[in-house]
Structure 1
Amino acid sequence: MAELNQDSGKQEKGGKPRAKKSGGRVDLTAMVDLAFLLITFFMLTTSLNKPQAMDVAMPDKNVETDKNTDVNVDEHRSVTLVLGSNDKLVWYQGDVKNPLQGPTVVDYSKEGLRAVLMRMKEQVPRQAGGKDMIVVIRPSEKSVTRNIIDALDEMKIVDVKRYMISNRIMSEEVELLKKENLYND
């Protein structure tokens, strides 16, 4: 049992010693019970911060596919982002050898990548007969993980429905990055 004892007997210098009076006793059992009940209540009723994660659709591991199989996509629908060094990227529409637009160097800012994606999201359905845009994100060896995350964040902000991260970067794209001085340490 929790209790609080107080000493109320005074002893002054010189004089008769007096009988020590015991002070009042305060029983703290009810207060301790209440404290634990409140702690339990608040622990059960508060919600913890949920981790924020982006849903990414991954291919099924059980389905065997030929790794050298290329998927043919209408060049009017495809926009490719080649991630380079120095927090910059090169984007182009269509084929790297004969692009419909670009290649252009941009950064990951609101005026850079986001503006490009918003503009292309409006243009592609008109060019491709109403079909939506497909974005291919190709990180190079010189890009960092933060660049991939920034590109994925922009996909979510602009509400791009179809995008993929490719682990293959073509030699023409590496040459494009070298030409723009975006393939260095």
Structure 2
Amino acid sequence: MADIATSGGGDHKKGGKKRGKKLSTRVDFTPMVDLGFLLITFFMLTTSMSKPSVMDINMPVKDNIEEKDKTQIKASQAMTILLTGKDQIVYYFGIGEEVENPLVTNFSANGIRKILLEESRKRNPALDSIRIYKQMANDRKITEDEFKANYSRIRNYKNGLIILIKADDKSRYKNLVDILDEMNITNNGRYAIVDIAPGDLKMINDNPYVQK
């Protein structure tokens, strides 16, 4: 609060000269300090702490697995993605190591994402219905459990695209995270991270469009 103290001025004796009153102002900031602590307490109690975003990856156990227990992949369903340096991607369709014309792309929206969307829709036309189910869930026409069940069913369609992801020593950890993000963006639920083969490395090194 502001206090104003006044003191009389001038000499009241006869013939004395009158002087103006002197005013002194003192501002009390004690209530402002209390208000500051109240605001700090309010924001501490009402603000939610930011939670780190994490990505769960289930990697296969490197034990001896019998041949009958291995997942069989049809070459007609497979797409192989090779992550290499300079944020580049070499890809081909199939699971063999001998491919005549592997293609090169990047992580842009018109790059690997466009390719994944086009190829996924060819093999699984129901992918476009995920957006419809999501809107229905937002409008509360279906429950969250119903949406998750349909979402998982469509993404894991047995005749859909199967993607094999391989990374060479020149690629960065960021490249692996980015390609996994693309799997979620394009609603591809059937993919695997596998070791790169010597034939794949030769394919990268011999490709004139790959920046060395």
Aligned match of 1:159 in 187, 192, 195? 187
TM-score (norm 1): 0.71
Q: How far 1:66 moved relative to its partner? A: 1.9
Q: How far 1:124 moved relative to its partner? A: 3.0
Say if 1:31 and 1:97 are closer, same or farther in 2 by CA, change over 3 A: closer
The answer to whether the Cα contact below 8 Å between 1:83 and 1:90 also exists between their aligned partners in 2 is yes
Instruction: Letter of the 1:85 partner, please give it.
Output: G
- 1:1-185 mapped onto 2 (5 Å cutoff): 28-53=29-54, 55-59=55-59, 65-66=63-64, 71-97=71-97, 103-125=102-124, 131-166=159-194, 168-181=195-208, 182=210, 184=212
Instruction: Letter of the 2:90 partner, please give it.
Output: V
Q: What do you get for the CA RMSD once the two structures are aligned? A: 3.8
The answer to whether the Cα contact below 8 Å between 2:97 and 2:200 also exists between their aligned partners in 1 is no
Moved more, 171-180 or 24-33: 24-33
Q: How far 1:58 moved relative to its partner? A: 1.4
Moved more, 135-144 or 44-53: 44-53
Q: How far 1:68 moved relative to its partner? A: 9.6
Extract unaligned runs of 5+ from structure 1.
16-20
Q: How far 1:28 moved relative to its partner? A: 4.6
Give the number of the structure whose residues are more often helix, by fraction. 2
Q: How far 1:38 moved relative to its partner? A: 1.6
Q: How big is each residue's C-alpha offset from its partner over 1:32-53, in whole Å with a ceiling of 9 and x where there is no partner?
A: 2232112100122123433333
Q: How far 1:64 moved relative to its partner? A: 6.7
The share of aligned pairs that are identical, in percent, is 31
